[in-house]
Chains A and B, each alone.
Chain A
């Protein structure tokens, strides 16, 4: 697959390629010092570009086609993973994957939205846009986890729940609503991680937890910036403004009191070093679970409902 380079990544990638090329000749020519200078320069460039990302640039990073997806994280952080299929009512939705596995020694249920990497796999995964049976499969698995007292980890990465005729016929709205309702009172720890795109109800449908985490370059909001632009500005051209107005990045959501913790990414974003992103997430999940495991089931429910009850801003 051809490397995808975002516009603002270009100067960094170009410089990196130049260094790579120079290295080939470093044995014959005395250019070690020059390479070192260039390496320092690329480091500075990275820091300056990545510490000044606009909200729209973060949306682009969140959608980067080489970014690790749910299955990648599952394989990086759990052992003995067994994927489970189907909602026992209609079918198996490929846009949500989930199953049991071991995080270190402990069994957890891990599930999330699944995108594809090329046209073929994207069609198979419906671009990570679930149908109602996807949400119902997720709920079936989460109820299993509750039955066997296993913690739940959900990974959010979707451009939205699928807006199609059949999705409506099978009750897309009911499926999402039911999950919000049921997830709020499951007696096991639930950790939610936004790994890429958190678009609206389609993301939230597996997103009610005791702890809400967001990767540094992910986004989470009520609507995608393009759709917001088309509705409020009546044109698709205001996506940058819409992204700014929606305040949809991880730091924004921490400020709004929705997200508890930001998962730092390797320099340049998770796609530049997926393994490192995986090990960072694993370490953080283990920390979070250690704390949540000490909490009694009824307290977990109380704390979760309390957490969401506080969200919002108003005056009397």
Chain B
């Protein structure tokens, strides 16, 4: 036997992996830290080592921000009707059915009322998991109706964005949702009701070019991608690499388009503080 042959009992990385139950551990894509699922949840889905903010959906966000048991969902079952009969590699109607089945959601935003440290609010949160958080007729209509409720009840409005932009499969109808939501926000503003826009990773395209940028106060989670054009498109246009940190939350604060970057763990307290300052 050669003296350099490994003994079978030695540590092997394969062997170690087998000891981890499936799905119990998550690797941080930023710093590679391995985090236990429970700990990650406790830490509101942010990395314990580098503060990387994992993408979360409306279910998690409502739980983080709202007082327990206060959320009342509105227009839950509003659904798209595939107005153009759009077909690319598959039918849009099939894509919708599959996504609804997979995610348990009806479209890319959920809206409702609830309270944040006992302050009544109207809240909307986008789900990136539903066709890239894209805005079509349903997202536009649900946001518009949420704004109507905020205006009528005089409840502050909070919208948490996470979107790749307008939904291509509804063509010009999707585009018009930018104007529709912005026009509704103008009414809300004229009515003197506060609106806080919370931008999370990523907020781009038509959502940024409408309600996400129109907050009385614009806040963002750390290092979220926020912009009009996506980085790939810009890179293609100018044929150069993009500067480090370009289109990230901190860059937008620097350029004057976001008021504050807030860590997810601070979000509820900070929003409470801001709302108290504006309301009382």
A and B bind: yes
* Contact (A168, B168) CB under 8 Å given A201-B209, A312-B176, A312-B180: no
Q: Is A30 an interface residue (CB 8 A)?
A: no
Could you tell me if A305 and B178 are in contact, using CB atoms closer than 8 angstroms?
no
Q: List residues of B whose CB falls within 8 A of some A CB.
A: 75, 77-81, 83-84, 86-89, 136-138, 140-141, 144, 166-168, 170-180, 182-187, 189-190, 205-206, 208-214, 227-229, 233-234, 237-238, 242-243, 246-247, 255-257
* Contact (A222, B175) CB under 8 Å given A245-B84, A314-B78, A314-B81: yes
Could you tell me if B183 and A184 are in contact, using CB atoms closer than 8 angstroms?
yes
Closest Cβ neighbor of A184 among chain B residues: B183
A157 nearest CB across to chain B (Å): 16
A40–B187 Cα distance when bound, in Å, is: 57
A304–B184 Cα distance when bound, in Å, is: 11
Contact bitstring A195-230, B, C-beta under 8 A = 1, else 0: 000001100110110000000000011110000100
A161–B237 Cα distance when bound, in Å, is: 12
Interface of B is mostly: helix
State which of A165, A200, A201, A204 has its C-beta within 8 Å of the C-beta of B234. Answer: A165
Q: Is A247 an interface residue (CB 8 A)?
A: yes
Interface of A is mostly: helix
A247–B176 Cα distance when bound, in Å, is: 14
Which residues from A are CB-within-8-Å of B256? Answer: 171
Could you tell me if B184 and A256 are in contact, using CB atoms closer than 8 angstroms?
no
Which residues from A are CB-within-8-Å of B247? Answer: 168
Which residues from B are CB-within-8-Å of A180? Answer: 178-179, 182-183, 209-210
* Contact (A173, B86) CB under 8 Å given A168-B247, A221-B171, A222-B168: no
Interface size on A, residues (CB 8 A): 54
Could you tell me if B175 and A204 are in contact, using CB atoms closer than 8 angstroms?
yes
State which of A173, A201, A205, A256 has its C-beta within 8 Å of the C-beta of B173. Answer: A256
Could you tell me if B179 and A177 are in contact, using CB atoms closer than 8 angstroms?
no
Could you tell me if B187 and A305 are in contact, using CB atoms closer than 8 angstroms?
yes
Could you tell me if B84 and A184 are in contact, using CB atoms closer than 8 angstroms?
no
State which of B214, B237, B242, B246 has its C-beta within 8 Å of the C-beta of A178. Answer: B214
Which residues from B are CB-within-8-Å of A165? Answer: 234, 238, 242-243, 246
Q: Is A169 an interface residue (CB 8 A)?
A: yes
A247–B168 Cα distance when bound, in Å, is: 11
Could you tell me if A181 and B183 are in contact, using CB atoms closer than 8 angstroms?
yes
Which residues from B are CB-within-8-Å of A168? Answer: 227-229, 234, 246-247
A99–B192 Cα distance when bound, in Å, is: 33
Please report which residues of chain A, range 154-197, place their CB below 8 angstroms from some CB of chain B when the two chains form the complex.
Answer: 161, 163-165, 167-174, 176-178, 180-182, 184-185
Which residues from A are CB-within-8-Å of B168? Answer: 222-223, 228, 231-232, 246
Closest Cβ neighbor of A241 among chain B residues: B88
Could you tell me if B234 and A256 are in contact, using CB atoms closer than 8 angstroms?
no
Could you tell me if A315 and B81 are in contact, using CB atoms closer than 8 angstroms?
yes
Which residues from A are CB-within-8-Å of B141? Answer: 312, 314
Closest Cβ neighbor of A247 among chain B residues: B84
Please report which residues of chain A, range 252-266, place their CB below 8 angstroms from some CB of chain B when the two chains form the complex.
Answer: 252-253, 256, 258
Could you tell me if A164 and B86 are in contact, using CB atoms closer than 8 angstroms?
no
Could you tell me if A169 and B255 are in contact, using CB atoms closer than 8 angstroms?
yes
A105–B268 Cα distance when bound, in Å, is: 58
Q: Is A316 an interface residue (CB 8 A)?
A: yes
Could you tell me if A308 and B87 are in contact, using CB atoms closer than 8 angstroms?
no
Which residues from A are CB-within-8-Å of B246? Answer: 165, 168
A198–B210 Cα distance when bound, in Å, is: 17
Q: Is A37 an interface residue (CB 8 A)?
A: no
Supplied contacts A205-B209, A208-B183, A221-B175, 18 more A-B pairs, CB within 8 Å: A161-B229, A172-B227, A173-B212, A173-B257, A180-B179, A184-B179, A185-B183, A201-B206, A204-B179, A220-B172, A220-B175, A246-B168, A248-B172, A305-B184, A312-B136, A312-B177, A313-B83, A313-B170
Which residues from A are CB-within-8-Å of B228? Answer: 161, 163, 167-168, 172-173, 176, 201
Tell me which of B83, B137, B180 has the highest count of chain A C-beta atoms within 10 A of its own C-beta: B180
Could you tell me if B183 and A164 are in contact, using CB atoms closer than 8 angstroms?
no
State which of A167, A207, A223 has its C-beta within 8 Å of the C-beta of B179. Answer: A207
State which of A173, A181, A256, A315 has its C-beta within 8 Å of the C-beta of B171. Answer: A256
Closest Cβ neighbor of A244 among chain B residues: B87
Q: Is A311 an interface residue (CB 8 A)?
A: yes
A165–B242 Cα distance when bound, in Å, is: 8
Which residues from A are CB-within-8-Å of B77? Answer: 316
Which residues from A are CB-within-8-Å of B79? Answer: 314-316
A299 nearest CB across to chain B (Å): 15
Could you tell me if B83 and A256 are in contact, using CB atoms closer than 8 angstroms?
yes
A185–B186 Cα distance when bound, in Å, is: 7
* Contact (A311, B229) CB under 8 Å given A168-B247, A174-B257: no
Can you report 17 A-B residue pairs in the complex whose CB atoms are below 8 A from each other? A161-B229, A168-B234, A171-B213, A173-B213, A176-B209, A177-B178, A180-B179, A180-B182, A184-B179, A208-B183, A222-B175, A232-B88, A245-B171, A309-B144, A311-B177, A312-B138, A313-B173
